[in-house]
Amino acid sequence: MSIAETVRSIMRELPAGVQLVAAAKTRTVEEIKEAVGAGIRIIGENYVQEAEKVRDAFGSDVKWHFIGSLQKNKVKKAVELFDMIETVDSFELASEINKRCAAAGRTMDVLIEVNSGSEDQKSGADPVSVRSLAENIARLPNVKIMGLMTMGPFSEEPEDARPYFRSTRKLFEEIKNSNIPGVEMRYLSMGMTASYRVAIEEGANMIRIGTKIFGERALKNRTDGK
């Protein structure tokens, strides 16, 4: 199927209220435009520089989410480019976002990234620290917590992700029910190409899909640059 056909197929199967983020890492403007033409309204980018190259080709009806690991020296540019940062995993990073947003006269919507598998090699806040992190970030005036995001440990078997999605949903509900001032737990971002159906079953209302929409990335198009 074409990119457009795939997007329409995915969107037909999504329950009401579930938002689809098209993960556009290394993708061209033409590929992204085909997805947008088929109904995509949120583009996810892993790298600030890649978003900078393509963002101007799209209008204000398309929202941009940062879904990669954000380095502090890229925050100033990220604040200019993105509508949401889904991968805030420390107070230090949130503070830098707050500082840059204050200078730009804006507030940034963010999700706290949860390292749901407590993997040493993965970014994300340890699950036991997420609530206290939310309480601390909530005091920053130019950052708005809108929910949680997780990836879970990599596996080719979608069912392997279920316990990690379930535990993140539990955290989401606990924080939501805590009614922390300044925290609006609206989005639970979980699930990618292989696991999005399981994620939705476990409560995700935002999913991030790249390969299923755009196909496998060609080796020559891959980049390790931030």
Tens of pLDDT, residue by residue over 157-196, are 999 999 999 999 999 999 999 999 999 999 999 999 999 9
CB atoms within 10 A of CB 182: 14
Collapsing DSSP to helix, strand or coil, 151 comes out as coil
Confidence at residue 221, expressed as pLDDT on a 0 to 100 scale: 43
Helix (H) or strand (E) holding 216: none
Of the candidates 226, 214, 188, 204, the residue with the CA atom closest to the CA atom of residue 24? 214
pLDDT in tens, 135-151: 999 999 999 999 999 99
Q: Which of 79-93, 103-117, 134-148, 211-225 has the lowest mean pLDDT?
A: 211-225
Q: What string of DSSP letters covers 67-122?
A: -SPPPGGGHHHHHHH-SEEEEE-SHHHHHHHHHHHHHHT--EEEEEEE-TT--TTS
Could you give all domains of the chain from N- to C-terminal order, each with its CATH number? 3-220 (3.20.20.10)
User: Does the pLDDT at position 64 exceed 70?
Assistant: yes
